[in-house]
Structure 1
């Protein structure tokens, strides 16, 4: 199969099952409409200022997109470095449920990144497309933190922790790391990783080239991802959808409301110092996620 960045959409060979579904849609005798849902940012609740991607925040837009009269397909524009595995699973599950309920195919389009939880979301689609320079993959689980044991000692601070339950205060950053605590953490990470792999294998059945190498947590460019079977082709949303449904295809966008940090940046002057500080901290947290994949 040949994939070209100039005419990538036309080179993609769709699944036969998807073609069958498309042929039965009611839009065939009218101008096709593609509902576009934007899934952008870190996945999860976030802090005070940032409203991340959660099922609660995107469910209304998903429902409206799949319920759009005469909709030919739903396109997911994904730009996310990942985040909460639970929210990734919830959103992806809702997308699949709506697609099957409404009989509407789903296409995913990776922008800067569809990494970790972002790729989990992409796999909810029947087809995945990316730009040549998109970052795709990062199929793994990570947990990071800091240890302050020596720091509080130098400051003359005594740490006091009282629990009912021997494992209630595991991984306390102010206490020395314990082997038993790490074993608990590792058990959870292995289980989450297994859930992630199972989802990818289910959604990309027959397409992945070498699953052993793809599940290490590594990530690739969109162009590399085509050869690995992580994505189906290269191209942006409008060009791919028009190649599939015709030049007269119309697009209807559905986006979640702006987060508090976005409103703060937009409004400026009359905001409290505390609000701006919260927004700055949330922005820093978000940057950490993006830097994990070099962006």
Structure 2
């Protein structure tokens, strides 16, 4: 009995010591990760003359903050004295007209402040709708022959369930203050007056889009009524139509057009809190795996 008690006590001591080591290593990893994130920011000035690259990817909306990150990256690129030119690497199907318009206005402002630094857009896969709205502010647009470009149009979509509700005997009870407050309600029949209002909003945004594209592209645009119909074009067709200026990749434009082959990515990373949280998760997961590997060996 004494021998069993002594053995059990020894096992418990080993287990406690193992957990103590585990938590010690975990906190050490957290501290090291935080210090690394705080002090590992690269000094971009050390790169010498370079081409700055800023990514514009994904849907342009408030959740992704893609337009905000784009503008922050552009500001940082312009602030770097070694930046010889800027490339926006575009891979976006578009998104919010408002956010795209804000980005277009800000790019034009930055270009006016830094006239000696050229700004180009290089489309890799797709630059459509709101993404092209932003791209129109660039000095030139380069595409791959298979890139999708254009979609200069506006869309508003939804569903109508009122007929289905009639079939199953569900009554919609909607109260509003303001005759158009319930406009677009999917559970109510379409109202011709409200539909006309919605169409006028779409038409006005479309006119704004067309104006911005014409201002940005100027005489390069061909007189083709299909340009503003909302359709997309392959890069090989976009060039002769004036929607793009030529074929090229990020590296070829940096090398052959800007003449600064070194690429420096100015796309903002996640904020410090998000990076620390992610790194803590990685550290914790690795520690847990190590712990259970030790226990089961």
Deviation of the 1:190 alpha carbon: 0.7
Is 1:88 matched up with 2:105?
no
Deviation of the 1:235 alpha carbon: 0.8
Is 1:228 matched up with 2:241?
yes
Report 1:49-198 matches (<5 A).
51-55=64-68, 57-103=69-115, 104-198=117-211
User: Do 1:78 and 1:118's aligned partners in 2 also have CA atoms closer than 8 Å?
Assistant: yes
Q: Deviations 1:194-242 (Å, cap 9, x if unpaired)?
A: 0000001111111011242200111110010011010000010111220
Residue 221 of structure 2 aligns with which residue? Answer: 208
Residue 286 of structure 1 aligns with which residue? Answer: none
The one of 41, 65, 68 aligned to 2:58: 41
Deviation of the 1:150 alpha carbon: 2.7
User: Do 2:140 and 2:245's aligned partners in 1 also have CA atoms closer than 8 Å?
Assistant: yes
Deviation of the 1:155 alpha carbon: 4.6
Relative to structure 1, the CA distance from residue 245 to residue 194 in structure 2 (aligned partners, 3 Å threshold; closer, same or farther) is closer
Deviation of the 1:258 alpha carbon: 5.3
The alignment yields a C-alpha RMSD, in angstroms, of 2.3
Deviation of the 1:151 alpha carbon: 3.1
Partner-residue secondary structure (3-state), 2:220 = coil
User: Do 2:56 and 2:67's aligned partners in 1 also have CA atoms closer than 8 Å?
Assistant: no
Distance 1:198 1:256 in 2: 30
More helix as a share of residues: 2
Distance 2:51 2:206 in 1: 33
Distance 1:114 1:153 in 2: 42
Deviation of the 1:163 alpha carbon: 1.2
**What are the ranges of 5 or more consecutive residues in structure 1 without an aligned counterpart?**
1-29, 271-295
Partner-residue secondary structure (3-state), 1:79 = strand
User: Do 2:104 and 2:137's aligned partners in 1 also have CA atoms closer than 8 Å?
Assistant: yes
Q: May I ask how many residue pairs the two structures share in their alignment?
A: 230
Partner-residue secondary structure (3-state), 2:170 = coil
Deviation of the 1:134 alpha carbon: 0.3
Partner-residue secondary structure (3-state), 2:219 = coil
Deviation of the 1:167 alpha carbon: 0.7
Residue 288 of structure 1 aligns with which residue? Answer: none
User: Which entry has the higher C-alpha Rg, 1 or 2?
Assistant: 2
Distance 1:151 1:63 in 2: 52
Partner-residue secondary structure (3-state), 2:66 = coil
Distance 2:126 2:86 in 1: 19
Runs of 4+ in 1 over 4 A off after TM superposition: none
Residue 262 of structure 2 aligns with which residue? Answer: 250
State which drifts further: 216-225 or 251-260.
251-260
